[in-house]
Structure 1
């Protein structure tokens, strides 16, 4: 066995963990509304009180900012680089938490949440890109899925501290996370794809040597260089190439479907109102504890999904996840229908609402929570990846806003049963989409995935892998 086959992905894990601290902060930003809005709506205890509509606007304000951030990221990520762009997000994240802590008016709260959303747009454009470019194929699924794991961790953290601390103290504690992000990620290597794009071959070699922990990286370096040169030769890497090139159109269609149905299943919308939903459901369990259990289970199951995605594959987990989510959402909708529209006494089985939501988060976290984000870093070539992830994040923001407003309007005007039935129907449509259109990317290099999207013969099948091993040994 030659030195080309040796190495260790330890630094890839460390880079992913430190880089996704930006996504932990992002999850805390989005999860903030769950424990904080009830405090802000309590006229007896709050110093800055808001109404239902203002609360809804505060919840979705980061999604508005994310559109600006995504467009910004598409411009700067190929100029500043992946590493420096991720480091830059620490500043607006930190500033937004300080503003939340000391905001004297609802307007400043809006601005703080908008700034956080801008950082979110940058984060979800560049972090999946960075991880997809530094990770070996054997661990890329797990590391790519860590974006969802850390996002859910952020929701859990903010709900725990927000349930026991004041809004001001919660924000000050939360500001520590972006500070840690900056201090730790500062020492991580830059993406070798970016360095080769900028003609910095020596730095790219050093980056690969650090990431793979071996000296002989010539094969990887040449593979990446050839892929980038082929992409630049055929297309200059413009936004229109996402739609002009057939393989890119396929990737846009796949990601659009996955991210769209992910949000139309209600995951982010429900996250904004988890506390209030549990309060509405009944009093068998404290809403605070129910929310903590909800996010703890979601975190554990998303971690489990990330650990098996490189073995089980993307498609099987997505199909199981979407089918189970639809069932859980219909059960949840039926409970709230009986509660809101009939004279049936639901007090004896109000625990069904809690169990239904927990079942939803368990099955949703097996695939749909993490894999769409993982595939963001897999399906697009380097020359259009920045534009693709920008478009995906803008699209995510629009779909999440639509789903959140749908939940807010339907729960007030018609009842939560309408909200959950709508999410359930969308989950069934998502199941059909996954079955017919989403490809399997397990174990493939980024270059092999592009060949599959172009309709070329796959070169990374099991037989080819065995032949490659034999040749290396020889």
Structure 2
């Protein structure tokens, strides 16, 4: 959508805020294991006692469910629409919390966590698409980044609630969030892109008028209609078009690189093991309080990044973020190397480990935490966006799992210094990738971005290449 037409973006903010309640739900389900699984393994107080192996299975079950949810979303989002698809996620999120609150069977608990993960995978396929299609170019960066901000908010909320209440009370309180999602998102407009795809111009016009706060939407309507007709004429929106069409292939490489290096730099892996890392590093602060501080700082910095991304631009924030994160990871790795491999007494300097980890959170939150998700909704045309975002969510699950297992294995066999040095190397590689390959999308309509991907202008590509392969250029 263009920013040229006068009006109001209030409803765009409201629709994004309502939709991201689903992302909060997903973050809460992902973060639930940290404060709750220890209660299940405490034989003196728990009503359903589980083993450590069952606890680890509970922790990763949402990742498994997310894979199936993403695949399902890709098949139905262009049939039922963005709005109805997103609205439907409130149901499994709600019943998952109710099951967690009352179930007395480990297999039912597995299933509850699985369907919650499925709803989360569904959400991360549908919501970035919806926000990218309803938001004006001048606010799309901030609204698109809100997915990462609210996901972190979900982690923080569940850690606070779960640290002070029982599992049952925590789940019942958490069930309010999907109920609020359903009640509020029910009144939001459908994506005008989807409505025009389904040949419903009058409904698309009314949706645009509501979203833009003006009746002067003729220019935007014609622009979107022309873009969709051009896509339908040249390509029918098949999965293979992600690889067969050169511009889609470029977008897939950019999105895959950003999302991959985001995870290989360790952000999700470190989040999963924050308790243990703080416990290893220092005894000056309790694990529960350390984790709350960790997520609170991450939330503040990611929110700050989202608020300035449409002014500062994507590339500068990504470069600053990844460079700073690499430095923090190197410092962290060096501290643990001295701790594990030398006889130097590190107790007077144990604060370095905490400061280094918090510095990583701060610097990573400046750009790399939120912008890769934001750009998922910007880089792909409507015809293949469902497939692209589905693939991106599957890719996220795989890369997050790989990074988490890497941290788990290297921490146990070699020490945390090897883990952090590995993340440092990946962060440096990610910095190089961003510098050479990632385009600036600030202030551009979705159609402008597609034209530049096709023409190779400003996108780090070689225009003279017949195959339009991405090439290094300074």
Q: Which band: TM-score by shorter chain?
A: over 0.9
Aligned partner of residue 378 in structure 1, secondary structure:
helix
Residue aligning to 2:465: none
Change (3 A) 1:23 1:439: same
Unaligned ranges ≥5, structure 1: 459-474
- Structure 1-normalised TM-score? 0.93
Deviation at 1:340, TM superposition (A): 3.1
Residue aligning to 2:375: 375
Deviation at 1:415, TM superposition (A): 2.4
The answer to whether the 8 A contact 1:4-1:217 is kept is no
The answer to whether the 8 A contact 2:36-2:162 is kept is yes
Alpha-carbon separation, structure 2, partners of 1:349 and 1:335: 9
Task: Encode CA deviations 1:329-367: one digit per residue, 9 max, x unaligned.
Answer: 122222223333333333322222211111011000000
Deviation at 1:216, TM superposition (A): 1.3
Point out the more displaced range, 330-339 or 367-376: 330-339
Deviation at 1:404, TM superposition (A): 1.5
Aligned partner of residue 78 in structure 2, secondary structure:
helix
Aligned partner of residue 160 in structure 1, secondary structure:
helix
Residue aligning to 2:320: 320
Deviation at 1:376, TM superposition (A): 0.3
Map of 1:132-281 to 2, 5 A cutoff?
A: 132-281=132-281
Residue aligning to 2:293: 293
Change (3 A) 1:346 1:42: farther
Unaligned ranges ≥5, structure 2: 459-474
Residue aligning to 1:335: 335
Aligned partner of residue 378 in structure 2, secondary structure:
coil
Aligned partner of residue 303 in structure 2, secondary structure:
helix
Deviation at 1:195, TM superposition (A): 0.4
Alpha-carbon separation, structure 1, partners of 2:328 and 2:32: 25
The answer to whether the 8 A contact 2:47-2:104 is kept is no
Q: How many residues align?
A: 456
Deviation at 1:397, TM superposition (A): 0.8
Aligned partner of residue 238 in structure 2, secondary structure:
coil
Residue aligning to 1:467: none
The answer to whether the 8 A contact 1:21-1:178 is kept is yes
Aligned-residue CA RMSD in angstroms? Answer: 1.6
The answer to whether the 8 A contact 1:34-1:276 is kept is no
The answer to whether the 8 A contact 2:7-2:213 is kept is yes
The answer to whether the 8 A contact 2:66-2:118 is kept is yes
Point out the more displaced range, 280-289 or 40-49: 40-49
Residue aligning to 1:80: 80
The answer to whether the 8 A contact 1:34-1:271 is kept is no
Matched, 1:21 2:21: yes
The answer to whether the 8 A contact 2:92-2:115 is kept is yes
Deviation at 1:168, TM superposition (A): 2.0
Matched, 1:311 2:285: no
Residue aligning to 2:443: 443
Residue aligning to 1:353: 353
Point out the more displaced range, 334-343 or 443-452: 334-343
Map of 1:121-136 to 2, 5 A cutoff?
A: 121-136=121-136
The answer to whether the 8 A contact 2:322-2:364 is kept is yes
Residue aligning to 1:469: none
Aligned partner of residue 5 in structure 1, secondary structure:
coil
Task: Encode CA deviations 1:402-428: one digit per residue, 9 max, x unaligned.
Answer: 111222222233322222222111111
Change (3 A) 1:409 1:38: farther
Alpha-carbon separation, structure 2, partners of 1:245 and 1:107: 44
Residue aligning to 1:390: 390
Deviation at 1:46, TM superposition (A): 3.9
Residue aligning to 1:32: 32
The answer to whether the 8 A contact 2:5-2:217 is kept is no
The answer to whether the 8 A contact 2:264-2:400 is kept is yes
